[in-house]
Structure 1
């Protein structure tokens, strides 16, 4: 099937062809006709399957076909809600690429950036708005935007949005738009709370499911290293020197972990950038740009900061900390081996993460290849390290315990 078969008009087909896309992906093939028919849709598909074009192309087509001569500037007709700033910016870039040969305008708003320039853009009037939930509601409170004309509302990465605590914001946004609007919900996985949200705000939705949620790419070689927690950094350095080559993303569970590893790798002469939620928007964009341009070849990130960002030509993903949610593992390693290329995934597992490996293997229905031949093997009998305070549930210092010196009422020299 080609994009022509999907009844897309010439300006859009021309932009798609110039962007280098010949044929639609499976998710585009299934979703675009439903959106063009004006139906509500729930789409379950992993990142890297071409989800953005699956909603961007039909939205542009419908807006292009139904244009009226604006009496008082343009009104927001399509609203796309995205959980993270990076993803919002990426969606905006896609819309701008696909609408090159139309007169449709797109803008993006998100927190962590000055609000006044965003108000100015909205005042001039736009057709398509991409926004993070918090900033959208702030601007609405300040009467800086009007959602009365929204015809299509897209909720992208809905599962992540709910994990980040945006459920009330999302419901509020849905209420602010007209009741006749079309809603498109995209989610990598459809857990119970996403299902619940869909039931409350969607109207008789059609469902599109592309590949099992658990499916990992056949082109990713997945390797597992058991290592004592205190030796993870040494093993990481050993692998970077001897095994892992090319452009790499390293995932850590916390912002603190990201910063600590970034310092260590920099000291060891590696060119590194990092992404986490505490970084300013500009710093995050700069880090991403330097990585994409090849000025650095290692990006260390937390899951939230890296979700949805599109990085092509990634040679390897390193799970420095294993995720406690098995689906997150699938997201992470899905960033390599895109578009038919091969890729590598390396996971470092300490004794306290063994249960995560079992959950991951159960989800992907596959045994990870264990590599024993490395300098920091984990003793198979090793138990997770439990700190004293965790065992006793309190401090290791006994209450009321006095030192010998204080018992003797000795005056201390300090």
Structure 2
């Protein structure tokens, strides 16, 4: 949708009039997204000689502190690591900041399993009161609505007008499967896509890091070129996995929701939800990884007998009925026992390692 350019271009325009260091801070919930945003700043800011600095966890803090002390024009960070720097050193200052951007603002501001509140408080104390704050999100949550109503200076608010919450080019399907046969259906789907469209790239979303790891091991046993991406991996492994998928070395990416937000991988033709997302907004972010920038794409959600109510909630939110995806069951039944045995073997190996 061009969300990143919507804040990168105005920031660069104002920066060009009076360039100085640390001019803009961009906060984002995931490390991968931080690097993607930095890439956009570099491409669009090259004529200005833009200096940027990415501050995320999993990488050397000393090297990051050195970069921050050199006063880059733009800092792109995850809240946790930037707050760590602010607590532990005074080699840089955010007091002259003109812009504070919260990308995926709903995720940054929501309270839950990954609560950024304490880190955001540290950061907000370090930035000046007189600044322009920009919040961007693909989904408007109650938190953002509340923030809009609390703001004292009548903020500018813009929402893309659309009756449907997902794009027209996206073919959205569901596949009703018994819980015990879910993996066999997945293997059959992947095999079908690879037989019919050898060059297609597929992202499979899973609920947990363990599921992600086990599914990756299982698909590799069936000689599918897959790679995993989840938050338990070391940061360099995560970057490497994403780079290999983007460059088509691997055609299948199995990921947790760490990859559901903002990541722009142009060539993804299919998104498969191995689990039905518990929240409609998670579904919207996941399926948004395909059918990007006017391209066509397909999203298939594997739905068990326990997930029907979740599908109804998703349909209500996106204002669209999901169509059933038809599969010949006999092909799935042929591989069911073998797939379940392979899954069990992979689970045992996963526990041992």
The interval holding the TM-score normalised by the smaller chain is: 0.7 to 0.9
Decide whether the 8 Å contact of 1:174 with 1:201 is kept in 2. Answer: no
- Distance in 1, matches of 2:152 and 2:107, equals 18
TM superposition shift of 1:173? 1.8
Matched, 1:335 2:289: yes
- Aligned equivalent of 1:283: 237
Partner of 1:151: 98
5+ residue gaps, structure 1: 1-48, 68-73, 379-414
- Quick check: 1:324 aligned with 2:299? no
* Residue pair 1:226, 1:377 contacting (<8 A) in 2 also: no
Deviation of 1:168 (Å): 3.5
* Alpha-carbon distance, 1:280 to partner: 1.2
Query: Is 1:181 aligned to residue 181 of structure 2?
Result: no
Query: In 2, distance between residues paired with 1:200 and 1:174?
Result: 17
Deviations 1:193-229 (A, max 9, x none): 2233455567421001113495111111122111111
Aligned length: 324
On the 8 A contact 1:223/1:368 being kept in 2, the answer is yes
Alignment map for 1:47-62 (pairs within 5 Å): 49-62=1-14
Q: CA RMSD in A?
A: 2.0
| Contact residue 251 and residue 300 of structure 1 kept, 8 A | yes
Q: Is the 8 A contact 2:86 2:122 kept in 1?
A: no
Residue deviations 1:103-141 (CA, integer Å, cap 9, x gap): 231111111111011111112221111111111111111
Secondary structure of residue in 2 paired with 1:190: coil
- Give yes or no for the alignment of 1:104 onto 2:50: yes
Report SS of the residue matched to 1:259. helix
Aligned residue for 1:300, secondary structure, equals strand
Which protein has the larger Cα radius of gyration, Structure 1 or Structure 2? 1
Deviation at 1:56? 0.6
In structure 2, distance between residues paired with 1:270 and 1:144 = 48
Between Structure 1 and Structure 2, the one with more helix by share is: 2
Contact 1:227–1:377 (Cα < 8 Å) also in 2: no
Residue segments in structure 2 that go unaligned for 5+ positions in a row = 333-353
Q: Is the 8 A contact 2:163 2:319 kept in 1?
A: no
Shift of 1:321: 0.6
Label 1:373 to 1:125 Cα distance change in 2 as closer, same or farther (>3 A). closer
TM-score w.r.t. length of structure 2:
0.87
- The residue that corresponds to 2:269 in the other structure is 315
After TM superposition, give the deviation of residue 347 of structure 1 in Å: 1.2
Paired residues for 1:2-401 under 5 Å? 49-67=1-19, 74-141=20-87, 142-163=89-110, 164-198=114-148, 203-212=153-162, 215-243=165-193, 245=197, 246-375=200-329
In structure 2, the CA distance between the partners of 1:126 and 1:243, relative to structure 1 (3 Å rule), is closer
Deviations 1:289-332 (A, max 9, x none): 00011110000111134321110011100011110101211221
Deviation at 1:362, TM superposition (A): 1.2
